[in-house]
């Protein structure tokens, strides 16, 4: 079983600040990486995908990928209380094309 590791948190960030979420993975051949947001009691919702080394920006969200270090991160700028949720890092298992998830990081944005 391939592993995806995340700090479970909780991570507490003041409103308007930058929230930084980190994820490491063990399978060197992985090529596709995703960040999902999950509100309490709801299903995961895709917010970012990244496939190449470097940064990918979408609105207030920036995903960063470093394949050499096997590291993926998500930055949320100008954090809002509505960003409070659990953020799941997921990596595609190349052999089976299925997603392998980390345990998620619980983020709380404090007004």
Partner 1 sequence: DTGVSQDPRHKITKRGQNVTFRCDPISEHNRLYWYRQTLGQGPEFLTYFQNEAQLEKSRLLSDRFSAERPKGSFSTLEIQRTEQGDSAMYLCASSRDTPGNTIYFGEGSWLTVV
Contact between 20 and partner 1 by CB under 8 A: the answer reads: no
Count of residues interacting with partner 1 (CB under 8 A): 26
Length, in residues, of the chain: 111
Q: Which of 47, 72, 100, 109 binds partner 1 (CB under 8 A)?
A: 100
Contact between 32 and partner 1 by CB under 8 A: the answer reads: yes
Site for partner 1, residues 45 to 84, rule: CB under 8 A: 45-46, 49, 51
């Amino acid at each position: 079983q391939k592993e995806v590791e995340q700090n479970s948190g909780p991570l507490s960030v003041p409103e308007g600040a930058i929230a930084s979420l980190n994820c490491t993975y063990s399978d060197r051949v992985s090529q596709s990486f995703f960040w999902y947001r999950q509100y309490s009691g709801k299903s995961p919702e895709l917010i970012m995908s990244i496939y190449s080394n470097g940064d990918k920006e979408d609105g207030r969200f920036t995903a960063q990928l470093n394949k050499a270090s096997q590291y993926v991160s998500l930055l949320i700028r100008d954090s809002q209380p509505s960003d409070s949720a659990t953020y799941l890092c997921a990596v595609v298992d190349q052999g089976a094309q299925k997603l392998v998830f980390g345990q998620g990081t619980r983020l709380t944005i404090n007004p």
